[in-house]
């Protein structure tokens, strides 16, 4: 019986992989990977057969139950099987279904964390998501729900959070902006859209919550996250505004 490694490939750039992930990829016999994984990351798995199993939202991808079954079958034939996922495997990656299937089948597994898109985007912006005095509450949300899934109140989390990072939301820009404004989020809330963070095709678009639909038209179809909150105002601040923020922080 082999072991299955659920490995985070990071947000894009292949050198944002952990040393542990790289070492496991070197030993891998079989790698089941997402379509967002960088070719140079895949190349580290020099000995492995590589199998693409999805997933870009809205496009054809392998059914989750089929992936689960393939992982179990692979571990019965191979010593080192890798399930390589974009970003961190435990965030918006359907890892739990795979973990449950492996547990049920009695297959040994290990999870290797990765750099998630939210922090990669923060790095591109030069913005702390938890800037002292402005943000102590960060929410990672997605408005996307799978077919037949219970609707989640993602907007309530965004309203409550000091900083929100919205995954898989660029295609829903209009809905996101309308819903949040209707529920009381100020139109002028500072916002950034970061597409293809850490990759050569990276784009950063800044504006306010009201601008989101227009900004989304400026993206090129790469993966993108929306960041929302006062920390973004501070980062793009002109000197005068920066001084005001410093003054607020001093009072706090
Ligand atoms: N497990 C991943 C998220 C998978 S869901 C993680 O931890 O990052 C896929 C979504 O992640 C995309 O729709 C997009 O919102 C975000 N994403 C992934 N890579 C990204 C990148 N390089 N730049 C911006 N957003 C990215």
Give the tens place of pLDDT for each residue, 132-181: 999 999 999 999 987 778 888 999 999 999 999 999 999 999 999 999 99
The reported pLDDT for the residue numbered 31 is 98
The reported pLDDT for the residue numbered 212 is 97
The reported pLDDT for the residue numbered 138 is 98
> Crossing angle for the helix pair 64-77 and 95-104, nearest 10 degrees?
50
Distance from the CA of 77 to the center of ligand 1, in angstroms? 31
The reported pLDDT for the residue numbered 250 is 72
Three-class HEC string of the chain: CCEEEEEECECCCHHHCCHHHHHHHHHCCEEEECCCCCHHHHHCCCCCEEEECCCCCCCCCCCHHHHHHHHHHHHHHCCEEEEEECECCCCCCCHHHHHHHHHHCCCEEEEECCCCHHHHHHHHHCCCCCCCCCCCCEEEECCCCCCCCCCCCHHHHHHHCCEEEECCCHHHHHHHHHHHHHCCCCCCCEEEEEECCCCCCCEEEEEEHHHHHHHHHCCCCCCEEEEEEHHHHHHCCCHHHHHHHHHHHHHC
Cβ(163) to ligand 1 under 6 A?
Answer: no
Distance from the CA of 160 to the center of ligand 1, in angstroms? 22
Task: Report the alpha-carbon distance of residue 60 to residue 55 in Å, rounded.
Answer: 7
Annotated catalytic residue 211 = no
- In the chain, where does the domain assigned CATH 3.40.1010.10 lie? 3-112
Annotated catalytic residue 108 = no
- The mean of the pLDDT values for the chain is 92
The reported pLDDT for the residue numbered 59 is 52
Residue 115 CA: nearest ligand 1 atom is: 7
Pairing mode, strands 80-85 and 3-8:
parallel
Residue of 194, 225, 227 with the most ligand 1 atoms within 8 Å of its CB, for mutation = 225
Cβ(68) to ligand 1 under 6 A?
Answer: no
Superfamily of domain 117-237: Tetrapyrrole methylase, C-terminal domain (3.30.950.10)
The reported pLDDT for the residue numbered 64 is 87
Long-range contacts of 244-251 (CB under 8 A, 24+ apart): 245/134, 248/133, 249/132, 249/133, 249/134
Give the active site residue among 3, 15, 26, 34: 34
Segment 99-128 mean pLDDT: 97
Q: At residue 239, does pLDDT exceed 70?
A: no
Share of the chain above pLDDT 70, in %: 90
Residue of 117, 138, 198 with the most ligand 1 atoms within 8 Å of its CB, for mutation = 117
CATH of domain 3-112: 3.40.1010.10
Task: Report the alpha-carbon distance of residue 2 to residue 28 in Å, rounded.
Answer: 11
Phi and psi of 3, rounded to 5°?
Answer: -125, 145
Cβ(190) to ligand 1 under 6 A?
Answer: no
Cβ(224) to ligand 1 under 6 A?
Answer: yes
Task: Report the alpha-carbon distance of residue 53 to residue 155 in Å, rounded.
Answer: 30
The reported pLDDT for the residue numbered 54 is 77
Give the tens place of pLDDT for each residue, 52-104: 997 665 455 678 888 999 999 999 999 999 999 999 999 999 999 999 999 99
> Residues 158, 164: contact at Cβ < 8 Å?
yes
Segment 198-223 mean pLDDT: 95
Distance from the CA of 141 to the center of ligand 1, in angstroms? 11
CA 120 to chain centre: 9
Q: What are the structure tokens assigned to 20, written together?
A: 């542990």
The reported pLDDT for the residue numbered 244 is 61
């Amino acid at each position: 019986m082999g072991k299955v490694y659920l490995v985070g490939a990071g947000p894009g750039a292949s050198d944002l992989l952990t040393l542990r992930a790289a070492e496991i990829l070197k030993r891998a016999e079989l790698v089941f990977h997402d379509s967002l994984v960088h070719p140079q990351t895949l190349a580290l798995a020099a000995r492995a057969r590589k199998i693409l199993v999805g997933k870009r939202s809205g496009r054809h991808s392998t059914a989750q139950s089929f992936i689960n079954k393939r992982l179990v079958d692979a571990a019965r034939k191979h010593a080192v099987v890798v399930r390589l996922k974009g970003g961190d495997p435990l965030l918006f990656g359907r890892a739990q279904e795979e973990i449950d299937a492996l547990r049920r089948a009695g297959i040994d597994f290990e999870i290797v964390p990765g750099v998630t898109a939210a922090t990669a985007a923060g790095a591109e912006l030069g913005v702390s998501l938890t800037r002292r005095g402005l943000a102590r509450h960060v929410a990672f949300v997605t408005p996307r729900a799978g077919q037949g899934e219970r609707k989640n109140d993602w907007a309530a989390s965004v309203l409550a959070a000091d900083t929100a990072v919205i995954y898989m939301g660029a295609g829903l820009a209009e809905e996101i902006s309308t819903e949040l404004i209707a529920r009381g989020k100020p139109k002028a809330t500072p916002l950034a859209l970061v597409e293809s963070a850490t990759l050569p095709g990276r784009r950063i678009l800044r504006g306010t919550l009201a601008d989101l639909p227009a900004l989304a038209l400026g993206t090129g179809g790469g993966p993108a996250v929306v960041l929302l909150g006062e920390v973004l105002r501070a980062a793009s601040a002109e000197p005068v505004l920066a001084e005001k923020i410093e003054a607020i922080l001093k009072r706090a």
